[in-house]
Amino acid sequence: MKVLSAMPQTQLIDQFGRKITYVRMSVTDRCDFRCVYCMDEKMTFLPRDQVMSLEEIHLIARAFVELGVNKIRLTGGEPLVRRDVLSLFDGIGKLAGLKDFCLTTNGSQLKKYAQQLKASGVNRINISLDSLNPLLFKALTRIGNIEQVIEGIDAAVDAGIERIKLNAVILKGRNDHEVLDLVDFVRDREIDISFIEEMPLGVISSHNRAETYYSSDDVFSAIEQRYPLSRSSLNTGGPSQYWNMADSKSKIGFISPHSHNFCGDCNRVRVTVEGELLLCLGNEHAVDLKQIIRDNQGDIEVLKRHLVMAMGNKPKEHHFTVDGDVQVVRFMSMTGG
Ligand code: SAM
Ligand code: SF4
């Protein structure tokens, strides 16, 4: 007779009983933009040998899916600037058991790739857009061209991607006056938007985060005055809380790490481009998956055992504060936003 505890575990459950079904993976730390809240103007990127190969990233994705993960998001850096990345999209899109295959992108390459991404099985795309004003967009991204991004968004809509959502980081005194314009932009296209509070990830020199902090509650009030909001039943098991407008299909989300702690229902972990498994965005706990793969000749069963064990160390919650202190030295582009 088989002893139950000796059977391989097929699900990832942490010490607080949370089932891990969602993995975000960074496929590159590089980017064609330099958004002021995300990167410094001059960045040093990782040497190639510290970056996982596309095959290693695929192996980790496969291991997670075999352990019950049904949602994977590829992010970065800018995922679509990595060479040959579409082969990774094709490979992950074929994993049996994956229900949601998502991408977070700045939109710069979407016009070129939207159709192929749809064909790979990508069903959700988040596109970052903080301003519709060409000059302010350029100032916030330091490099970006707003027209190219809008063409990318429209290409994703035309390709028939099921769910498209904009991500807008709102900074006091920079783009807080554009909240309603951004809402009208998504209403016109019947796509969604999430407003994000800036998080203290990475040391930046462009501004003092404490001074630019703009609360989701203030964004909410501005929208509510024009479009009354009602709570949506949509729950992604993550930090976003969604709201509906009576006269539009577009949903409005708020990601508020400061003003609302979102850790209780956390169903996710992250993998950095160096292959570190991060059990919580706001904490430093990590497991070196790249080393495990390289030490064991890519044995997926060994990798899966390490993933199961690692869940025991997932912390209860993050510890961000509004005073702008940096608790986490990694940039968002390293951890995969
Ligand atoms: N390059 C892609 C993009 O911009 O969508 C994917 C990576 S980016 C790091 C993912 C998301 O993180 C973006 O929506 C970006 O606005 C957000 N982000 C970056 N740094 C942030 C910070 N310090 N606080 C809050 N959001 C941040
Ligand atoms: Fe690049 Fe995205 Fe970071 Fe902007 S937010 S610098 S687009 S990784």
Question: For 158-209, how does the pLDDT look when each residue is reduced to its tens digit (9 = 90+)?
Answer: 999 999 999 999 999 999 999 999 999 999 999 999 999 988 766 677 778 7
The model's pTM: 0.90
**Which residues sit opposite 128 in a β-bridge?**
167
Q: Which atom of ligand 2 is nearest to the CA of 38?
A: 3
Average pLDDT over residues 116-139: 98
CA–centroid distance, 299 to ligand 1, in Å, is: 33
* Dihedral, CA of residue 197, residue 202, residue 205 and residue 206, to nearest 10: -30
According to the model, what pLDDT value does residue 8 have?
Answer: 61
Q: What is the pLDDT of residues 71-103, one digit of tens each?
A: 999 999 999 999 999 999 999 999 999 999 999
> Is pLDDT larger for residue 83 or for residue 330?
83
3 state SS of 164:
strand
Q: Is 194 in the pocket of ligand 1 (CB under 6 A)?
A: no
Q: Which ligand is nearest to the CA of 35?
A: 2
Average pLDDT over residues 112-141: 98
According to the model, what pLDDT value does residue 239 have?
Answer: 63
Mean pLDDT check: name the lowest of 83-92, 109-118, 316-325.
316-325
According to the model, what pLDDT value does residue 99 have?
Answer: 97
Q: Which ligand is nearest to the CA of 45?
A: 2
Share of the chain above pLDDT 90, in %: 70
**Which residues sit opposite 289 in a β-bridge?**
none
The span from the CA of 307 to the CA of 88, in Å, is 21
According to the model, what pLDDT value does residue 275 have?
Answer: 96
Average pLDDT over residues 318-336: 50
Tell whether the model's pLDDT for residue 5 goes beyond 80: no
How far are the Cα atoms of 227, 256, 275, 290 from residue 59, in angstroms, in the given order? 45, 33, 11, 10
What is the CB neighbour count within 10 angstroms for residue 334?
Answer: 23
Q: Which atom of ligand 2 is nearest to the CA of 333?
A: 8
Name the E strands within 62-169. Answer: 71-75, 100-105, 124-128, 163-169
CA–centroid distance, 205 to ligand 2, in Å, is: 16
According to the model, what pLDDT value does residue 202 have?
Answer: 65
CA–centroid distance, 296 to ligand 1, in Å, is: 33
- Atom 21, ligand 1: which residue's CA is nearest? 38
Contact by Cβ (8 Å): 257, 197: yes
Q: Which ligand is nearest to the CA of 130?
A: 1
Task: Read off the tokens for 74.
Answer: 């590829």
CA–centroid distance, 333 to ligand 1, in Å, is: 7
What is the full DSSP assignment across 98-128? --EEEEEE-STTHHHHHHHHHHHT--EEEEE
According to the model, what pLDDT value does residue 212 have?
Answer: 85
Q: Is 170 in the pocket of ligand 1 (CB under 6 A)?
A: no
Q: Is 106 in the pocket of ligand 2 (CB under 6 A)?
A: yes
**Which residues sit opposite 268 in a β-bridge?**
22
Q: Is 333 in the pocket of ligand 2 (CB under 6 A)?
A: yes
According to the model, what pLDDT value does residue 74 have?
Answer: 98
Mean pLDDT check: name the lowest of 42-51, 199-208, 307-316.
199-208
Residue 240's identity, in one-letter code, is S
Task: Read off the tokens for 15.
Answer: 């010490």
According to the model, what pLDDT value does residue 314 have?
Answer: 73
Q: Which atom of ligand 2 is nearest to the CA of 106?
A: 7
According to the model, what pLDDT value does residue 280 have?
Answer: 76
> Is pLDDT larger for residue 10 or for residue 54?
54
Q: Which ligand is nearest to the CA of 140?
A: 2
According to the model, what pLDDT value does residue 234 have?
Answer: 77
According to the model, what pLDDT value does residue 117 have?
Answer: 98
Q: Is 105 in the pocket of ligand 1 (CB under 6 A)?
A: yes
Q: Which atom of ligand 2 is nearest to the CA of 108?
A: 7
Q: Is 196 in the pocket of ligand 2 (CB under 6 A)?
A: no
State the chain's mean pLDDT as an integer. 88
Alpha helices in 227-325 (DSSP H): 289-295, 300-310
Average pLDDT over residues 65-72: 96
Confidence grade of residue 1 (pLDDT, cut at 50, 70, 90): very low
> Which helix (H) or strand (E) covers residue 196, if one does?
strand 192-196
Average pLDDT over residues 288-297: 97
Strands of the sheet with 192-196, listed across from one edge: 229-231, 240-245, 251-255, 192-196, 163-169, 124-128, 100-105, 71-75, 22-26, 268-271, 276-278, 286-288
Confidence grade of residue 329 (pLDDT, cut at 50, 70, 90): very low
- Atom 11, ligand 1: which residue's CA is nearest? 337
Backbone angles phi, psi at 143, to 5 degrees: -135, -35
According to the model, what pLDDT value does residue 4 have?
Answer: 42
Q: Which atom of ligand 1 is nearest to the CA of 75?
A: 6
Which of 26, 34, 74, 272 gets mutated to test ligand 2 (max ligand atoms within 8 A of its CB)? 34
In a 13 Å sphere around the CA of 246, the CA atoms on its Cβ side amount to 4
Share of the chain above pLDDT 70, in %: 84
Q: What is the pLDDT of residues 53-65, one digit of tens each?
A: 999 999 999 999 9
Contact by Cβ (8 Å): 108, 33: yes
